[in-house]
Amino acid sequence: MTVSPDDAPWWTRAVVYQIYPRSFADSDGDGVGDLRGILEHVDHLADLGVDVVWLSPIYRSPQDDNGYDISDYDDVDPLFGSLADLDALIEALHARGIKLVMDLVVNHTSDEHPWFTASRSATDDPRRDWYWWRPARPGTVPGAPGAEPTNWRSFFSGPAWQYDEATGEYYLHLFSRKQPDLNWENPQVRQAVYAMMRRWLDRGVDGFRMDVINLVSKVTSLPDGVVGVDGLGDGSPYYTCGPRIHELLHEMHEEVFAGRSGQLLTVGETPGVTLADAVAFTDPARGEVDMVFAFEHVDLGRGPGGKFDPVPVRLTELKEVLGRWQAGLGEVGWNSLYWSNHDQPRVVSRWGDESPASAKALATLLHLHRGTPYVYQGEELGMTNAHFTAVEQYQDIEVVNYVAQVRALGLVDEAHLLAGLATTSRDNARTPVQWDAGPNAGFTSGEPWLTVNPNHVRINAAAQRQDETSVLAHYRRLIALRHDEPTVALGDFTMLLPEHEQVYAFTRRLGADLLVVAVNVGAEPVEVDLGVPVEGAEVVHATHPDAVAPGPGPLRLRGWEALVLRPRG
Ligand code: ISL
């Protein structure tokens, strides 16, 4: 959006921090992180300087998908604490000027949610139509393999339909069979969701991160998809940004957000979203959401066998994607900026070499883009992938189901499987936060639910807190830079050197002010002509504490060096 610093929305200057509560900090020794654990570390967030915390789900849940399967939207799961603990957290964050954004998971509920238990109880139950129930494919035996109403594959392997003996029909679940999809065609479903959202806002939360919100509108005839090697079809063309998605998000906006203060934040998680749809979602004039999470940059490197069959990616491919999204959401709409979250591998393992230097360079690269940056817990410490060596170490339902499927189909050898999981599995981001060098990294006094990374003896918050050269201190400076420099928040973005395979460079311009950003995405030194004069420029921000104004000739960057320069004059 083209706005002046005076009337730009508050979140154009904000940085969001994501907490995955299960892995953040455990206060009671049961091995699972909890709300009291977060309370013990709120000053870590305040010191970092973040404006918003996005809290992954803490609602009542059977934990089939670590809380993304909710059985009561209005209560806290005892695993994480109580409503009183949540109120205390809201108060502690607000006292430090930090907002709290809740995860909103309403594409599906748990199969243990009372809405679903009613829905499955009888074909004439008033809640039957709240979910997607369909009879077996005509001419098949209900419950037999291949009798599913459509050939759709679930995100977590296997068919997206579960047969229910009691009523002889199937229900749709795009994720696990314990996550039945809500039927957003039914106005009662929508009103129940909106009422729940209003209750949370009334309680004091500051907005929502909306889980797979672009999957709620389905093509109601549910056509079969193109069949893959597993014999199942890809239904995504019929449920990704479906026919009514913009109408439904606008309705939600009117029913829930209109008339509330402009201090809220709404961000849609939108796998498979196109740039054109993202513009529509985030055009303020349309009243849908403030920003969305796009997936093109994190989906780079998918091989022929999907996410667990990764292939190498070139820096120029990353530039092409991020540059296109910067340009596409320049005039209208707004980007969210993220490297990592609880579903993605760690950025230092993916794009860096796991050194603190690479963590800092990649942080500068992302945070100097135009959009709202999201920091995923532990990223500010340079935490790495898990490096598990056995399939049994993985806990994630996506991995467990995938392994069972490929073994049953005999599709991959075990070494290839292990290598793929080690590269892209979601558990890479879910190992406990590394607070100190002590037992279990200070995460728990008990047995952690997921193995703590042994590198916590080197990489941890305690070691970095007082060290001005640490990754943590670097993140602190980057966050302050966004708060202090209107050009970082609002300047136009222009990519430089799109064909260069080692240097990622761009400019940001706001009125007469120009910033030049150059990042060496590699450990080898490099010399480069940016095509923009930077001799004698002011060093506004740098990865290396001894960085000085560039001299004449090509710009020299040391390994993993990033510079933010303000040319003189
Ligand atoms: O990581 C993925 C599987 O390969 C993604 O496709 C992921 O499932 C997708 O981004 C949706 O994620 C969100 O909804 C899921 C939940 O498992 C994820 O943790 C959540 O972020 C279902 O609620």
pLDDT tens digit sequence for 398-445: 999 999 999 998 878 899 999 999 999 999 999 999 999 999 999 999
Q: If you measure from the C-alpha of residue 505 to the centroid of ligand 1, how many angstroms do you get, rounded to a whole number?
A: 31
* Lowest mean pLDDT, pick from 207-211, 230-234, 410-414, 443-447: 410-414
Which atom of ligand 1 lies closest to the CA of 68? 23
Residue 2 scores a pLDDT above 70: no
Q: Which residue has a Cα nearest atom 20 of ligand 1?
A: 211
Which atom of ligand 1 lies closest to the CA of 426? 1
The DSSP code for 175 is S
Q: If you measure from the C-alpha of residue 388 to the centroid of ligand 1, how many angstroms do you get, rounded to a whole number?
A: 21
pLDDT digit string, tens, across residues 70-102: 999 999 999 999 999 999 999 999 999 999 999
Residues with active-site annotation: 211, 269
Could you tell me what percent of the chain has a pLDDT over 90? 96
**Stretch 268-289: mean pLDDT, rounded?**
98
Ligand 1 contact via 473 beta carbon (within 6 Å): no
Which two structure tokens, joined as six digits, stand for 394? 């993985």
pLDDT of 384: 98
User: In Å, what is the CA distance from 438 to each residue of 455, 456, 472, 510?
Assistant: 11, 8, 19, 47
Ligand 1 contact via 306 beta carbon (within 6 Å): no
pLDDT of 569: 76
Contact 152, 159 (CB under 8 A): yes
Ligand 1 contact via 115 beta carbon (within 6 Å): no
pTM value is 0.98
pLDDT of 556: 98
Give the mean pLDDT of the chain: 97
Residue 5 scores a pLDDT above 70: yes
pLDDT of 3: 67
pLDDT digit string, tens, across residues 97-153: 999 999 999 999 999 999 999 999 999 999 999 999 999 999 999 999 999 999 999
User: What is the C-alpha to C-alpha distance for residues 6 and 296, in angstroms, rounded to an integer?
Assistant: 32
Start-to-end C-alpha separation, the chain:
27
Which atom of ligand 1 lies closest to the CA of 397? 17
The DSSP code for 325 is H
pLDDT of 162: 98
**Stretch 19-41: mean pLDDT, rounded?**
98
Ligand 1 contact via 68 beta carbon (within 6 Å): yes
pLDDT digit string, tens, across residues 139-193: 999 999 999 999 999 999 999 999 999 999 999 999 999 999 999 999 999 999 9
How would CATH label the architecture of 491-566? Sandwich (2.60)
Ligand 1 contact via 427 beta carbon (within 6 Å): no
Ligand 1 contact via 211 beta carbon (within 6 Å): yes
Could you tell me what percent of the chain has a pLDDT over 70? 99
User: Position 58: which residue type?
Assistant: I
Q: If you measure from the C-alpha of residue 292 to the centroid of ligand 1, how many angstroms do you get, rounded to a whole number?
A: 14
How is the chain split into domains, by residue range? 10-60+80-107+198-224+249-474, 491-566
- The superfamily (CATH) of domain 10-60+80-107+198-224+249-474 is Glycosidases (3.20.20.80)
Q: Which residue has a Cα nearest atom 9 of ligand 1?
A: 271
Which atom of ligand 1 lies closest to the CA of 307? 4
Topology agreement, domain 10-60+80-107+198-224+249-474 and domain 491-566: no
Ligand 1 contact via 178 beta carbon (within 6 Å): no
Closest C-alpha to 222, from 133, 107, 127 = 133
